[in-house]
Structures are given as C-alpha cells and as structure tokens.
Amino acid sequence: MDVVTCHHLVRTFGSQTVLDGVDLTVAPGTILGLIGPSGCGKTTLVRTLLGIIEPTSGDVRVLGTPPTKFSSAQRTHIGYMPQAPALFPNLSIHNNLRFAASLYGVRRRGRRRRLNQLLDFVGLADDRRKLAGAASGGMQRRLALAQALVPDPELVVLDEPTAGVDPILRARFWSYFRDLRHAGRTLVVSTQYVGEAVDCDVVAVMCAGRIVAVEAPEALRRRAFGGDIVELSAERGWFTREEVDKLATEPYVISTYRTADGVRMVVEDAATDTPRLLGVLQNADVGPVTVNQITPDYDEVFVAIMREADAASCAVPA
C-alpha cells in the first residue's frame, strides 16, 4: 500500500486556488523530494498531508486514512519537522526532546534509551545540557529533526529542513535522511534547493499549485530536454552548416544547435546514438571527432521544466 495518495486534491482560500488538482503517490521506503519555487504550494500540500489543512475537494490518504480523521494513535506514526523549529529556549536540548516525547505519549519505560539514541543520531549527545536558546541554528535544526523522530514514525514529513543552512550541514541532513530510508522509513521532503533532487528517490516538481512532473532524478533530466545531451567537437575546430544540417536530419536527433566548440544536440539515447553520429560524420569526411555526453545540473533541468509548465503562472502563495 502506498504511504501517501492524493487524487485531484484541491485547496482554495477564498477565490485563490493554492492546490490545483494534485495527483501524487508515495511508495513505502522512499524519499520523495517536493521541489518548486517559493509560493508554489509546497507548504500547503505538506500541511494537508498532516491534516492541519482540510482539502476543499479531492481525496488524500496518508497511511490509508484521510489526515483530518487521524486518531491520536495514528498521528504517532507520522513525524513532522516544520520550517521553524518549535523549541523552548530556556530548556536544555535534552529536556526539549523529553517534552516532545511526552507530547507523543512515549512510555516512560524505554524513553531514556530512545532519547539517547536520537541525540546520538543527530550528533547532539555531547550538547544535551546546553540550553536550546544558546544553541546554534544548525543545532536547533538537528534538535527539531530529533523531535520529529521521537515516536519512531513510519512517515517523516520535513518542510524545507535545509533552508538557510550551510552546505556542510545540508549534506549532513541528507545523510540522516538516507539512513532513515535505509531503516525502512518513508520521507517527504519539501525544498527550494533544486540540486537536492539528486538525493531523492523520486522528485515531484510543483508549479502554481500543480505537480507538473514526478520522476526519478535521472528520468527528470531526460524529461526536461526530451532525451540525452551530447556535444561534438571536431579536431579541425568547426563544423560546416551543411554538416550540422545533415546531423539534424537523423531520425534519432531531437534538436541541434551550435556552440563555441562545435555542436550540441539532444538525442534519444546517447549510448546507442553516439556511434551513429560518428558514422555519419565519418562518411562526411570531417576528420577526428570527439563526442561527450553532457549532464545538465538540476538548475537547468528545473528551468526547462518550469518553461514547459509556463513559469509565468507559478506565482501562487503557499
């Protein structure tokens, strides 16, 4: 059974549609990255999955139940890390965690062991007595993650957990997330950092309250450009217009354009089509040619998908 299912999910606030027919499934034991520009509806979707916001229409189920109908016991199967950590600054790191355990109804028997495990997991065991208000921003974020994990949840929902943190801590968080996935947990992670797509099992791209793409990271690259990107450069330093036009007529070539160093093109499959390209150029007596497959970064991928989805319509507040 899928951990999350959304079918034609709509949420409006007055005359404004913030979630516009969202369809989404999240399989068990995966990391789903929910990626999109600020104001695209990510936080509204996250809060709807948690039962904080009720859908206007459509169907949403989390662990088989509509979130607004969760019992107290069912809620302990879900961990939530909000954008702004909910901490008591005058309590120690350990006592903040103890308070979270009491809210989740964690039994006293075994509670100390569980909290010690979590402090070790997020690297705060040596700082357990430090006041939360005196802790660094990064430590507070790690404490917030530990709080979300107190009930040992099946599903962990994290709303922009790496926003504003340095690259080292961001990498550390994603190491935590992979460890949780390897332990069988399912994670939904919303983020504005497009490059974090590579760390996800599945990426859902949001635009204007809609999910416009749901793909594995590598498949997302192919979807953005319609195939694989390869770059050809000739030892002589150029290709003639006739040679480029000849390449463009090949049935497996999707698009072609010149670059300063040669010609770049999108083909159906780089592994299969590269020998074909070389064969065409060899017959044209071009001389030695080098072919390199280009791997676009996820910023480029994201821009391409947004253009396809009409980026001008993405200004919907979350």
Taken in order 291, 297, 298, 299, is the CA torsion positive or negative?
negative
The residue type found at 313 is S
Residue 68 lies in a domain: yes
Task: Pick the closest to residue 7 from 54, 59, 70 (CA basis).
Answer: 59
Q: What is the pLDDT of residues 137-194, one digit of tens each?
A: 999 999 999 999 999 999 999 999 998 888 899 999 999 999 999 999 999 999 988 8
Residue 305 lies in a domain: no
Backbone angles phi, psi at 257, to 5 degrees: -155, 150
Considering the domain architecture, whether residues 253 and 174 belong to the same structural domain is answered as: no
Q: What is the pLDDT of residues 117-146, one digit of tens each?
A: 999 999 999 999 999 999 999 999 999 999
Q: Which domain holds residue 289?
A: 226-295
Taken in order 191, 62, 17, 201, is the CA torsion positive or negative?
positive
Considering the domain architecture, whether residues 90 and 188 belong to the same structural domain is answered as: yes
Taken in order 267, 272, 275, 276, is the CA torsion positive or negative?
negative
Asked whether the beta carbons of 36 and 205 are under 8 A apart, the reply is yes
Asked whether the beta carbons of 143 and 129 are under 8 A apart, the reply is no
* Bridge partner list, 186: 155
Asked whether the beta carbons of 85 and 136 are under 8 A apart, the reply is no
Considering the domain architecture, whether residues 165 and 30 belong to the same structural domain is answered as: yes
Backbone angles phi, psi at 19, to 5 degrees: -115, 125
The yes-or-no verdict on residue 52 having pLDDT over 90 is: yes
Residue 310 lies in a domain: no
CA distance 176 to 142: 10
Asked whether the beta carbons of 315 and 282 are under 8 A apart, the reply is no
Q: How many domains, the chain?
A: 2
Confidence bin at 310 (pLDDT 50/70/90): low
Q: How many other C-beta atoms can be found within 10 angstroms of the C-beta atom of residue 219?
A: 13
Q: What is the pLDDT of residues 98-108, one digit of tens each?
A: 999 998 888 88
The yes-or-no verdict on residue 314 having pLDDT over 70 is: no
- For 47, residues 6+ apart whose C-beta sits below 8 A from its C-beta are 53
Select from 168, 194, 221 the last residue of a domain: 221
HSE of 46 in the Cβ direction (CA atoms, 13 Å)? 29
Select from 221, 244, 278 the last residue of a domain: 221
Considering the domain architecture, whether residues 202 and 264 belong to the same structural domain is answered as: no
Considering the domain architecture, whether residues 14 and 107 belong to the same structural domain is answered as: yes
Considering the domain architecture, whether residues 79 and 107 belong to the same structural domain is answered as: yes
Backbone angles phi, psi at 69, to 5 degrees: -110, 15
Considering the domain architecture, whether residues 128 and 176 belong to the same structural domain is answered as: yes
Select from 221, 239, 263 the last residue of a domain: 221
